[in-house]
C-alpha cells in the first residue's frame, strides 16, 4: 500500500481519534511522506521513531501491533510464558507510561503475566529485573538519547539481553504476518493474567549490586566534588542513592532532575552532544568540582567532563573515557590479584583500537562485535553457561555505553558513573587530572583520536540516498586519500575482509557496515544508523603527538566526502 493510501486509510478510520485526524489534515506533503511511506521498522534494536499518527510513527496502534507480535512469539517459544511473565519499564518521555500500560494490558490479555514498576526506571535496571524475576522477557519503552519528539520499544529475552538477530528474526516474521496496525485484533483469553506492580526489593537489589562493584572504596573522598545530571531521565534516584551510600560529595543539577518529557532544562539530553554539558559545567564552575557525570534519559549511557591541569573543564569522547576506565579497572584488579588469567574485554567493530591495546597490555583478550550492546550481553551469557571462560572483565561501545559487572546484560550508566568517579578520585589523590592520564595513555600506546560524523537523510528519498551511498562505497572500497591508500576492507554485509593478497570470512551476523583500513593505521567505518535516518562515519587516527592527532579526523572526513562525492 502506498503513502497516500496509508494516509487516507488513517484519515477515514473510525479508530483514529479526531485529534489525530486534525494533525493529519494539517500535515504538509513532506510530513505525510515521512509519516506514511513505510511501516515503522521493527528491527534488531526494536522500534524507535517520532511520536504521532502514521504507519512510520510510534503510537498506540504501532505499539499494540508490536506487543501482539511479541505475545505470540513468547507463547510459541516458552512453555512457561504465562506464569514466568514479562517485565516492562519506561523512561520519562511523552506516552512512555501509556505505552507501558498498553503493553502490559495486551500481554495479560494473551494470558502472560506482566510486571511493571510504579514509575520510570532505567534500562539497565529493566535488564536486571528480568533476571531477578526469572521472567522470560522484557520490554523497555524508551528512545534513549533521541530528541523529545521520539519514543521507542525495545525487547529483551530471559537473560536480560536485547534480542540478537537469530532470536528476533522470528519475532519480526510474526509481526510481519499480522494485519496492518489499524486492523490487528485478538480475542482476550478466558484467564487474563495479572499485571503486577513490582515492589522496591528490585530497586534495593539492583542498587546493592551496583555498590558492590567498587574497587577502592577506601579512597579519601573529602573535598572531591562531583556534579551529576540525569538529563531529566530515569537515573536520578538510583544515582543519588549510590553516591550517598558510598560517601561521595555529589551535587545534582536541580534544573535537570525532574522527569520532564520536554527536556526543558537542557539543550540536549545526549552525552554525545556538547550542549548537554552546558548547565552541569556551569554548576561545576560555581562549586569548583573536579568531575561532571551524566546519564542519558534511559540511564544506559554515561558522559563526563573534568577539571583539567589548567583549571578548565574538558569533555571526553566515549572512546577516550572507556579506554581510561578500562586501564584503571584492569590495573586495579591486577594489583589486587583479581584479574582473570583468561579474561576478555568486549567492544565493537567501530570502537577505537586503543581499547584492544590497553587490554593486551594486561594480558586480556578482546572480542569485537557489531554495534549493539545485545551482542556483548549475549556473549557474556554464552561463556557463562559454558562455564570455562573466558571471563568477562569489561565491555563497551564508543557511544558512551559500558558494563563493568554483568548482573545487568545491557550497558549500565549507574555502574559507569560510579567507577568513573572512583577512577577520577584515584588519579586526583595521586596528583593527576584526567587530561594527564590521557596523555600518559598516548605515550604508552600512541596518540589516538577517534571521532564520529553523521549525515542525515530524511523521508523516502533519504532512505534511497543512504542505500546509494553504501552501494557506491561497496563497489569501490580501495580508495586513496591524499596518497594514503586503503589496504584492507571489511564488508560486514557480505561478511568478508579483503586485502591485496587474501580474503577472510567474517564470523559475525550480516550488517550494512564497511570498514576501511589505511596504510598509516587510519580506519574509517561507515554505517547507516539502525535507529535514525543518518549515516555515521567513524574515523580513527593514530599520531606521534596529541596535537597532531586532534587535527587529523576533521580533515580526513572532509577529504573522504570529496572522494565519495557527497
Catalytic residues: 144
d(CA 376, CA 394): 10
**Burial of residue 321, with CB atoms counted within 10 A of its CB: 0-12 exposed, 13-18 middle, 19 or more buried:** buried
Determine contact, residues 393/340, Cβ cutoff 8 Å: yes
Where do the H-state alpha helices sit in 487-539? none
Number of C-beta neighbours around residue 247 at 10 A: 12
Indicate the DSSP class of residue 51.
Answer: B
Q: Is 214 helix (H, G, I), strand (E, B) or coil?
A: coil
Q: Is 225 helix (H, G, I), strand (E, B) or coil?
A: strand
Angle between helices 413-429 and 434-445 (to 10 degrees): 90
Cis, bond preceding 390 (omega within 30 deg of 0): yes
Q: Grid coordinates in use for 372?
A: 549493539
Reported as half-sphere exposure (CB side, CA atoms, 13 A), residue 24 has a value of 22
d(CA 328, CA 339): 12
Angle between helices 3-11 and 18-25 (to 10 degrees): 140
Helix, strand, coil tally for the chain in percent (to 5): 40, 20, 40
Distance (Å) of CA 142 to CA 47, 292, 299, 406, 547 = 9, 24, 10, 22, 39
Amino acid at each position: 500500500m502506498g503513502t497516500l493510501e496509508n494516509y487516507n486509510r488513517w484519515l477515514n478510520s473510525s479508530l483514529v481519534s479526531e485529534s489525530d485526524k486534525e494533525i493529519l489534515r494539517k500535515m504538509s506533503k513532506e510530513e505525510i511522506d515521512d509519516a506514511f511511506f513505510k511501516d515503522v521498522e521493527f528491527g534488531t534494536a526494536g522500534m524507535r521513531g517520532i511520536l504521532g499518527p502514521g504507519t512510520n510513527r510510534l503510537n498506540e496502534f504501532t505499539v499494540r501491533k508490536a506487543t501482539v507480535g511479541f505475545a505470540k512469539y513468547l507463547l510459541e517459544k516458552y512453555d512457561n510464558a504465562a506464569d514466568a511473565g514479562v517485565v516492562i519499564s519506561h523512561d520519562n518521555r511523552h506516552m512512555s507510561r501509556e505505552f507501558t500500560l498498553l503493553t502490559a494490558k495486551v500481554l495479560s490479555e494473551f494470558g502472560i503475566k506482566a510486571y511493571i514498576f510504579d514509575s520510570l526506571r532505567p534500562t539497565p535496571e529493566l535488564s536486571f529485573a528480568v533476571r531477578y524475576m526469572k521472567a522470560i522477557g522484557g520490554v523497555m519503552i524508551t528512545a534513549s538519547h533521541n530528541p523529545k519528539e521520539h519514543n521507542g520499544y525495545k525487547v529483551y529475552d530471559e537473560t536480560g539481553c536485547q534480542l540478537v538477530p537469530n532470536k528476533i528474526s522470528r519475532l519480526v516474521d510474526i509481526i510481519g504476518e499480522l494485519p496492518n496496525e489499524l486492523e490487528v485484533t485478538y480475542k482476550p483469553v478466558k484467564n487474563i493474567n495479572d499485571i503486577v506492580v513490582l515492589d522496591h526489593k528490585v530497586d534495593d537489589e539492583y542498587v546493592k549490586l551496583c555498590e558492590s562493584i567498587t574497587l577502592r572504596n577506601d579512597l579519601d573522598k573529602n573535598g572531591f566534588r562531583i556534579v551529576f545530571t540525569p538529563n531529566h531521565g530515569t537515573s536520578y534516584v538510583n544515582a543519588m542513592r549510590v553516591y550517598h551510600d558510598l560517601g561521595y560529595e555529589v551535587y545534582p543539577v536541580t534544573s535537570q532532575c525532574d522527569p520532564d518529557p520536554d527536556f526543558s532544562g537542557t539543550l540536549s539530553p545526549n552525552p554525545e552532544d556538547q550542549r548537554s554539558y552546558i548547565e552541569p559545567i556551569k554548576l561545576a564552575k560555581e562549586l569548583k568540582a573536579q568531575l561532571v557525570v551524566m546519564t542519558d534519559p534511559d540511564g544506559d549511557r554515561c558522559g563526563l567532563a573534568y577539571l583539567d591541569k589548567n583549571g578548565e573543564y574538558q569533555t571526553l569522547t566515549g572512546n577516550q573515557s572507556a579506554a581510561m576506565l578500562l586501564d584503571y579497572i584492569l590495573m586495579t584488579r591486577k594489583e589486587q590479584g583479581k584479574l582473570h588469567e583468561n579474561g576478555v574485554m568486549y567492544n565493537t567493530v567501530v570502537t577505537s583500537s586503543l581499547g584492544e591495546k590497553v587490554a593486551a597490555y594486561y594480558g586480556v583478550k578482546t572480542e569485537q562485535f557489531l554495534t549493539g550492546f545485545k551482542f556483548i550481553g549475549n556473549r557474556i551469557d554464552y561463556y557463562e553457561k559454558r562455564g570455562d571462560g573466558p571471563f568477562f572483565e569489561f565491555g563497551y561501545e564508543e557511544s558512551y555505553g559500558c558494563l563493568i559487572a554483568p548482573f545487568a546484560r545491557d550497558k549500565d550508566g549507574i555502574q559507569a558513573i560510579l567507577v568513573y568517579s572512583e577512577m577520577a578520585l584515584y588519579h586526583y589523590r595521586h596528583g593527576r587530572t584526567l587530561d594527564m592520564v590521557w596523555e600518559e595513555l598516548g605515550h604508552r600506546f600512541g596518540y589516538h583520536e577517534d571521532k564520529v560524523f553523521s549525515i542525515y537523510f530524511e523521508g523516502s528519498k533519504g532512505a534511497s540516498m543512504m542505500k546509494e551511498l553504501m552501494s557506491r562505497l561497496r563497489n569501490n572500497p580501495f580508495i586513496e586519500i591524499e596518497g594514503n591508500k586503503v589496504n584492507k576492507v571489511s564488508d560486514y554485509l557480505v561478511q568478508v575482509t579483503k586485502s591485496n593478497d587474501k580474503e577472510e570470512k567474517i564470523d559475525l551476523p550480516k550488517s550494512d557496515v564497511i570498514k576501511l583500513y589505511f596504510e598509516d593505521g587510519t580506519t574509517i567505518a561507515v554505517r547507516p544508523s539502525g535507529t535514525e535516518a543518518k549515516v555515521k562515519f567513524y574515523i580513527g587516527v593514530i599520531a606521534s603527538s596529541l596535537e597532531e592527532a586532534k587535527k587529523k579526523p576533521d580533515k580526513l572526513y572532509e577529504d573522504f566526502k570529496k572522494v565519495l562525492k557527497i
